[in-house]
Amino acid sequence: MRSDRRPPFLLSLGAFAGLLFLHVPLGFVILYAFTTEEKTYEFPPPGLTLKWFAVAFERTDIWAAIQLSLQVAAMSTVLALILGTLIAAALANHRFFGRETLSLLVILPIALPGIVTGIALRSAFNIMDVPFSTWTIVLGHATFCIVVVYNNAVARFRRLSGSLVEASMDLGADGFQTFRYVILPNLATALMAGGMLAFALSFDEVIVTTFTAGQQATLPIWMLNELIRPRQRPVTNVVAVFIILVTFLPILAAYYLTRDEEPGRGAGH
């Protein structure tokens, strides 16, 4: 039951203060992408300029880092969509011994601190003599991207009526046709939302990447190096603005894809 009453003033004030606490630092990041001062962060900025965007555009090291980050995020997302959906289908529709334990193990990587996951992966790659490359970064990112896809997919599977699948099979559809025409349309928005969130998480991941990368530098790693040994401080802020946009838009899209769904109904109903 929905209430149209306005929340108490103190509750509204607390919510507003929380939003300011979360978003004012982002405002400063955006502001200093336009500052005319190159080496320090004066407040207020002595002037505003767009020149740092042009400087960032001409930096080949930035473009290389962006390309690697997009490549890793795309591959991690595809891997997460495949494995996360398969795991969700197995755990949502079948009961077997150890099911709850397996479910816990699936979501464990995102609950653990990133440094623990990173150390574990690095140790495993060293033991197996796997050379550090783009693929080791992808595998590292997939460990937590799978969880995001799994959480979205398993919730949708549990709301998908088994009678729909049975009816499809009774009408002569084979497994592939049932998946394509019945299951997939019901999973579509959940998979899109999970994929977008996984892409955003992978794109700005830094801790796990630090332990699984070789000589490569994704965009977050590039930013970390620039903060330690800055060349042009405002350029780092320009790149941060780009990351905010790249990660914010998929998360916003995922929110709008899933917010209006009613409990007990799948997509396509």
Provide the residue type at 54 as one letter. Answer: A
Cβ proximity of 41 and 233 under 8 Å = yes
State the virtual CA torsion across 185, 189, 190, 194 in degrees, nearest 10: 130
**Tens-digit pLDDT profile for the chain (269 aa)?**
455 667 777 787 888 888 888 888 888 878 878 877 766 666 777 777 788 888 888 888 888 888 898 899 999 999 999 898 888 878 877 676 767 777 777 777 777 788 888 888 889 888 888 888 888 999 888 888 888 888 888 877 777 666 666 676 666 666 666 666 677 777 777 788 888 888 888 888 888 888 888 788 888 888 888 777 666 677 888 888 887 877 777 777 767 766 655 444 444 44
pLDDT of residue 265: 44
Distance CA 122, CA 56 (A): 32
Q: Select from 243, 248, 232 the least CA-distant residue to 54.
A: 232
What is 62-216+247-258's CATH topology? MetI-like fold (1.10.3720)
For the chain, how far is it from start to end, CA to CA, in angstroms?
Answer: 23
pLDDT of residue 267: 40
For 56-80, write each residue's pLDDT tens digit.
888 888 888 888 988 999 999 999 9
Cis link prior to 44 (omega < 30° from 0)? Answer: yes
pLDDT of residue 260: 54
| CA distances (Å), origin 225, targets 69, 90, 105, 218 | 15, 42, 34, 11
DSSP string, 112-147: S-HHHHHHHHHHHHHHTTPPPSHHHHHHHHHHHHHH
Distance CA 217, CA 228 (A): 14
pLDDT of residue 264: 41
pLDDT of residue 162: 62
Provide the residue type at 220 as one letter. Answer: P
pLDDT of residue 3: 55
Sign for the CA dihedral angle at 119, 206, 76, 106 comes to positive
7 DSSP assignment: P
